Amino acid sequence: MHEMGIAQNILEIALEAAKREGATKISRIDLVAGELRGLVPMQMTFCFGIVAQNTIASSAYLNIEETPVTAHCDDCSADFKVEEYKYLCPKCSSAKVQVTGGSELRVKDIEIE
Ligand SMILES: [Zn+2]
């Protein structure tokens, strides 16, 4: 389950940020995850609950914001959203497209007390 490793990473980032702020508790973590990451929010929440045990983030709510897959067309320079894994330009139907977004994974914000 790759969610466990990701949850561990997120926890470390959040704890580090909380430490800098001198926080005693993390109440919420806003996570941005690209659709290509294929994260299952329920599994993420579950794994996070395990890795965060006995830390100041143990009762933090994990808010996952999924970002769409985006691509750029090499033929007509259009930028578009890829839906249902159709890697074709919606403007000119070209298949010469480059994926430009959808694989990001970062902690956007944390709420501390
Ligand atoms: Zn195009």
CATH number of the CATH domain containing 48: 3.30.2320.50
pLDDT (0 to 100) of residue 78: 98
Averaged pLDDT in 10-residue chunks for the chain of 113 residues: 89 96 96 93 94 97 95 98 92 96 95 95
Domains held by the chain: number:
1
Is 88 a member of any domain?
no
Is 51 a member of any domain?
yes
Classified as helix, coil or strand, 101 is strand
Per DSSP, 35 falls in state: G
Q: Looking up tokens 């769409």, which residue turns up?
A: 68
Q: Looking up tokens 């074709």, which residue turns up?
A: 88
Cα(17) to ligand 1 centroid in Å equals 42
Is 91 a member of any domain?
no
Cα(80) to ligand 1 centroid in Å equals 9
Residue 20's domain spans which residues? 2-69+101-112
Cα(101) to ligand 1 centroid in Å equals 17
Q: Looking up tokens 């993390």, which residue turns up?
A: 26
Cα(70) to ligand 1 centroid in Å equals 13
Is 30 a member of any domain?
yes
Q: Looking up tokens 């839906």, which residue turns up?
A: 83
